[in-house]
A = this chain, B = another copy of it.
Amino acid sequence: MNDENIKSTIQELAGIVNKYLDEVLQIKDPKRFYEAVRWLPMAGGKRLRPVIAMVVAKMFGADIEDIIPFALALELTHNFTLVHDDIIDEDEFRRGVPTVHTAFDIPTAIIAGDTLFAMAYRELSKLKVKGDILREILRDFSQMVIDLAEGEYEDVEFERRDDVTLDEYMEMIRKKTARIIQTACYGASLIGGQSTEIAEMMGEYGLNIGLAFQIQDDILGLIGDPKVTGKPVGSDIRKGKKTILVIHALNTLDSNRREELLTILKRPEKTEDDVKKAINLIISAGSVEYAKKRAREYSKRAVDILGRLPDNEYKDVLKFLANYVVERIK
């Protein structure tokens, strides 16, 4: 497939996800409650996780109907974690609209998130697979959510620490971001009738593009165009997040500059000047190039894994996605 065909395939699959999400998230009584449940999932989003699962399943010859409940479960779970993370991070905007707890209130947002989570499992109960496969998907999916929770906890905890190592960071983003893409590829392979070995190999593909995706997210959070990303300039700096760029800069800068960066990161209220200064310190440490290099390494590993599979038009889409996650600007 050429790039144009690939892009339209991805768009078509995202459209299918949107259509089914709209059905699952129909508003009923209590009305205001279901408006809150529907709010974030229907505000847009890349639908990256369900699309990857659909592409993997199609690559292995599954019918689109067979993968849809699993694809929806991934997107519902992703949205559930975002609704709760936004409360935790006190974020006011996402996807260009107020976050659920901002548009409604914190109690409603907590319960709306829980409901999206339960809806994800209700979708899994619709999977038409054999008992053992359903059990394994259920096990992996649940362990994934536990990992997501651990990762989110560590992400917040790292804000308060100065000594986060690169290894700790990689383990945190593995759990917080890469794990759900790993599950998307693993579960989709099982639904596509593949052996555990092939499913685990595909999981490795997902894990690697997940790591690349998060590192690129860190880069965009620092030097991305706010008009394109939808996030304010240096939003990670404002929160004092220990991104790969911050950790690399703290490991690389001389002690004076290191102290300067730490002082800014710890300041509860940061001025625009603080943020600019921090960004410049991080850039001067070569941390953007370092992060970019790491992201491309993980992307390449993902592509290498695909090399073990026979050629197929959906494999081209997966190759495209491995590149997209590191080259994207939003």
Contact = CB atoms under 8 A, between A and B. Distances in A.
Give the oligomeric copy count.
Answer: 2
Nearest to A146: B118
A23 B220 CA distance: 42
Nearest to A81: B114
Nearest to A108: B153
B122 A153 contact: no
B111 A114 contact: no
Given A33-B150, A121-B138, A122-B139, A88 B114 contact: no
Interface stretch (A54-62, A123-131, A185-193): A123-131
Contacts of A112: 149
Interface in A147-181: 149-150, 152-154, 156-157
Chain A at the B interface: SS class: helix
Given A33-B150, A153-B108, A117 B119 contact: no
A5 interface: no
Contacts of A30: 150, 153-154, 157
Given A122-B143, A134-B134, A135-B125, A114 B149 contact: yes
A87 interface: yes
Contacts of A146: 115, 118-119, 122
A131 B125 CA distance: 10
Interface residues on A, range: 35 or more
A2 B127 CA distance: 46
A111 B134 contact: no
Contacts of A88: 106-107, 110-111
A153 B121 contact: no
Q: Which of A117, A143, A154 has the most CB of B within 10 A?
A: A117
A145 interface: yes
A111 B176 CA distance: 12
Nearest to A153: B33
The 10 closest A-B pairs by CB, nearest first: A131-B131, A118-B145, A122-B142, A125-B139, A125-B138, A88-B107, A121-B142, A115-B149, A33-B153, A118-B146
Interface of A: 30, 32-33, 80-81, 84, 87-88, 106-108, 110-115, 117-119, 121-122, 124-127, 129-132, 134-136, 138-139, 141-143, 145-146, 149-150, 152-154, 156-157
14 contacts: A80-B114, A87-B107, A88-B107, A107-B156, A108-B153, A111-B153, A115-B150, A117-B117, A117-B145, A119-B142, A125-B142, A129-B131, A131-B131, A138-B138
